[in-house]
Amino acid sequence: MCGIVGFIGKEQAAPIILEGLAKLEYRGYDSAGVAVYDGESIKVEKAMGRLKVLEEMTHYGSTLPGTIGIGHTRWATHGQPSNINAHPHLNAKGTISVVHNGIIENYLQLKNRLIRHGYEFQSETDTEVVAQMLDYYYSGDPLEDIVKVLHRIEGSFSLGIIFSEQPDAIYAVRKSSPLIVGKSAEGSFIASDVPAILKYTRKVYYLGENEVAKLTCDDVTFYDADGEQIEKEPVEIKWDAEAAEKGGYEHFMLKEIYEEPKAVRETLMPRIKDDRIEIEELKLTDEEIRKIPKIHIVACGSAYHTGVTAKYVFEGMGRIPVDVDIASEFRYRDPLLSEEDLVIVISQSGETADTLEALRIAHKKGCKVLGIINVLGSSISREADMVMYTWAGPEISVATTKAYSAQLAALYLLALKFSYVKGAISDQELAAYIDDLKRLPDQIELLLGGKERIQRFANRYVAAKDVFFIGRGIDYAISLEGSLKLKEISYVHSEAYAAGELKHGTISLIEEGTLVAAVLTQKDLYQKTMSNIVEVKARGAFVLAVTNEGNTEIEKNADYVIYIPETNKYFANSLAIIPLQLFGYYVSVGKGYDVDHPRNLAKSVTVE
Ligand code: F6R
């Protein structure tokens, strides 16, 4: 996954592009580059490493004069991070420059064909093929040439292209990778995501599948895959620009953890009306809900972990069978789906390639797909039959926190709605669950108030080598996410285990001082997990326990205890995850790592 920004207008392009790329660094940050047409030719500057290297090299863009340009921040897929592989890429004459996000799947075949025609390649990337193909088809009419290339490349791509022989326009193309077009008094913009251009405009156009845009200083025009002009309506972005900035916090991750009460409140409250759950986006009648025999939840990473939690909630509360799948597994195992089943895909970005493909497979099998999505207008939100948005606002830190919490909130609402409609819970039970839901945002806030204690504990464990997270039932689902949060940003090896599974192998790894984080929010499983705590203690483990207020006798066995406020068993994840997110955050800070940009990762994974 990579970030693209392009500008044509009345101002200098490079500073605007670099500023925009800085907002997209969450998408990739192993190298960056900018190409600007300076009135005579296209000048390109690239640099390995974080964007600031390029910013300093170009004096924040001032060494690249010109009012039309494209830029890129890269997360390597084809070819290692290097100056040569960094975008923009050029044709041999240097007259066509291309930036690309996604993967050209048939690039080798195309590259070999071009080599047979005498073309030479500089980089190992799939992107250079596009620049060289445009050269091969070059007719002087960029739109016609782009359409030809569009019909020959396969895979996922959003592209920004400039031609030195037609320096009055930027061209943009999109297929299965995000790209937006913005318009303001200063000029026209392309970007992979809204925060990159929010400073200049709130009026954006979402490019559709296989659509092409031509941007000039004063105008934007759209075309379909055959080059026929089409009309598009702009969308008004209502986000607060501040929401995409750090707002005084040291890292986006901490800011976003602090935004969790708001994200949960805004996801829940508009859908709770007079003690009833009303999910407008759910275009299913009660009769249709009653007929759903099974739900399949498909997602990746943390979003998958919310699905694991949801399985316990739907099945426990509503006796509704749920399968949960990792999208990259689901798509290749020819899943057994019946047309009456409902498929729920969960994704913050709405762009995750495997999740998008899972949605398409579900459609092929005749199922309706409900998306739980955070990014408006994203690919999954456009292809799903129904979209329930999580109102978490822009999430910038690579490690998800507030979107995860908002996804849980959306899933609770669905589980309540389905359980009630199917007659599995009474009016009184529904009312009690709704009361618990309404209290969640304040309870999260309360937990955030205890952050210093977690910070102190994290500082003691900065040097930890291995950490095990254990729990049963929903506590196991919480452990999965707690463990992922820690390892992805602090690079500490950590594993989540169903507590009862530990003695089938993993317990042999426990030695003097090994940190075991035990989650015990489920009353009926409390004693069982307590026995597992005793077992690891007997082998020398240091135990951090996260449990409900009032369970003070745990202090006999656990070395450090974090209490969470009382809620019902189904919603405990929303509370127990907060100290675990903070723990991961503070271990990473303690190690001096780049919390918001963990190595090798990217915010939205648009490649499989
Ligand atoms: C972990 C994390 C990832 C994402 C996963 C799915 O902190 O953020 O595991 O949850 O890549 O991404 P989305 O939700 O955008 O589909």
Q: Whose CA is nearest to atom 11 of ligand 1?
A: 301
Strand pairing of 542-548 and 342-347? unpaired
Buried b vs exposed e over 43-53: b needs ≥16 C-beta within 10 Å?
bbbbbbebbee
pLDDT band of 372, cuts 50, 70, 90: very high
| CA 560 to ligand 1 center in whole angstroms | 30
Contact 289, 279 (CB under 8 A): no
Q: Which of 2, 46, 175, 402 is catalytic?
A: 2
Check: CATH 3.20.20.60 for 3-237? no
Contact 344, 296 (CB under 8 A): yes
Q: Whose CA is nearest to atom 5 of ligand 1?
A: 301
d(CA 152, CA 160): 17
Say yes or no: do domains 3-237 and 449-597 share a fold. Answer: no
| Best of 605, 606, 608 for a ligand 1 pocket test (most atoms within 8 Å of beta carbon) | 605
What is the share, in percent, of the chain residues with pLDDT greater than 70? 99
CA 493 to chain centre: 22
* pLDDT (mean) for 309-314: 98
What is the share, in percent, of the chain residues with pLDDT greater than 90? 86
Ligand 1 atom with the smallest distance to the CA of 349 is 15
* pLDDT (mean) for 455-467: 91
Query: Does position 245 have pLDDT exceeding 80, yes or no?
Result: no
Contact 158, 211 (CB under 8 A): no
Q: What residues contact 118, with CB distance under 8 A and at least 6 apart?
A: none
Residue 489 is inside which H or E element, if any? Answer: helix 474-490
Active site (annotated) includes residue 603: yes
| CA 583 to ligand 1 center in whole angstroms | 19
CATH class of 449-597: alpha beta
Q: Whose CA is nearest to atom 1 of ligand 1?
A: 399
Which residue ranges have their beta carbon within 6 Å of ligand 1?
Answer: 300-303, 347-349, 352, 355, 399-400, 484, 488, 604-605
| CA 345 to ligand 1 center in whole angstroms | 12
Provide the token pair at 183: 């318009």
- The residue whose two tokens read 């307590």 is 530
CA 480 to chain centre: 17
d(CA 554, CA 557): 6
pLDDT digits (tens, 9 = 90+) for 46-77: 999 999 999 999 999 999 999 999 999 998 88
* pLDDT (mean) for 540-559: 96
One-letter amino acid at 132 equals Q
Q: What is the 3-state secondary structure (H, E, C) of 62-111?
A: CCCCCCEEEEEEECCCCCCCCCCCCCCEECCCCCEEEEEEEEECCHHHHH
**Left (φ > 0), alpha (ψ -120 to 50) or beta: where does 301 sit?**
left
User: SS3 of 516, please?
Assistant: strand
Q: Whose CA is nearest to atom 4 of ligand 1?
A: 301
Q: Which of 23, 175, 262, 603 is catalytic?
A: 603
| CA 92 to ligand 1 center in whole angstroms | 38
pLDDT band of 140, cuts 50, 70, 90: very high
Q: Whose CA is nearest to atom 9 of ligand 1?
A: 301
pTM: 0.80
Terminal alpha carbon distance of the chain? 10
Provide the token pair at 383: 């292809």
Provide the token pair at 492: 């500490």
* pLDDT (mean) for 383-410: 95
> Structural domain boundaries of the chain?
3-237, 246-448, 449-597
Q: According to the model, what pLDDT value does residue 525 have?
A: 97
Q: What residues contact 109, with CB distance under 8 A and at least 6 apart?
A: none
| Best of 27, 256, 302, 585 for a ligand 1 pocket test (most atoms within 8 Å of beta carbon) | 302
d(CA 361, CA 334): 9
d(CA 501, CA 517): 15
Query: Does position 376 have pLDDT exceeding 90, yes or no?
Result: no
Q: According to the model, what pLDDT value does residue 79 have?
A: 84
User: SS3 of 518, please?
Assistant: strand
Query: Does position 28 have pLDDT exceeding 80, yes or no?
Result: no
Query: Does position 238 have pLDDT exceeding 90, yes or no?
Result: no
- The residue whose two tokens read 């202090």 is 555
* pLDDT (mean) for 386-405: 95
Q: According to the model, what pLDDT value does residue 608 have?
A: 78
Buried b vs exposed e over 383-393: b needs ≥16 C-beta within 10 Å?
bbbbbbbbbbb
* pLDDT (mean) for 97-115: 95
Provide the token pair at 398: 């690579």
Contact 355, 337 (CB under 8 A): no
pLDDT band of 478, cuts 50, 70, 90: very high
pLDDT band of 27, cuts 50, 70, 90: confident
Contact 216, 181 (CB under 8 A): no
**Left (φ > 0), alpha (ψ -120 to 50) or beta: where does 600 sit?**
left
| CA 15 to ligand 1 center in whole angstroms | 30
**Of 92, 90, 97, 54, nearest in space to 74 by CA:** 54
CA distance readout (Å), 508 to 480, 512, 541: 20, 12, 11
Ligand 1 atom with the smallest distance to the CA of 398 is 8
Tell me the Cα Rg of the chain: 25
Contact 35, 71 (CB under 8 A): yes
| CA 605 to ligand 1 center in whole angstroms | 8
pLDDT band of 350, cuts 50, 70, 90: very high
* pLDDT (mean) for 194-210: 92
The DSSP-derived string for 330-350 is HTTS-----TT-EEEEEESSS
Q: According to the model, what pLDDT value does residue 78 have?
A: 83
Biggest alpha carbon–alpha carbon distance for the chain: 79
Q: According to the model, what pLDDT value does residue 377 have?
A: 81
Query: Does position 242 have pLDDT exceeding 70, yes or no?
Result: no
The DSSP-derived string for 18-35 is HHHHHHTGGG--SEEEEE
| CA 404 to ligand 1 center in whole angstroms | 9
pLDDT digits (tens, 9 = 90+) for 262-290: 999 999 999 999 889 999 999 999 999 99
**Of 36, 110, 103, 105, nearest in space to 75 by CA:** 103
Q: What residues contact 429, with CB distance under 8 A and at least 6 apart?
A: none
| CA 166 to ligand 1 center in whole angstroms | 40
User: SS3 of 388, please?
Assistant: strand
Ligand 1 atom with the smallest distance to the CA of 303 is 10
Q: According to the model, what pLDDT value does residue 75 have?
A: 85
- Per the DSSP assignment, residues forming a β-bridge with 580 are none
pLDDT band of 421, cuts 50, 70, 90: very high
d(CA 328, CA 345): 12
| Best of 372, 373, 400 for a ligand 1 pocket test (most atoms within 8 Å of beta carbon) | 400
Query: Does position 102 have pLDDT exceeding 70, yes or no?
Result: yes
Contact 178, 160 (CB under 8 A): no
CATH architecture of 246-448: 3-Layer(aba) Sandwich (3.40)
Size of the chain in residues: 608
| CA 282 to ligand 1 center in whole angstroms | 24
Residue 359 is inside which H or E element, if any? Answer: helix 353-364
Residue 589 is inside which H or E element, if any? Answer: helix 572-590
Contact 307, 346 (CB under 8 A): yes
d(CA 446, CA 305): 24
| Best of 300, 326, 405, 600 for a ligand 1 pocket test (most atoms within 8 Å of beta carbon) | 300
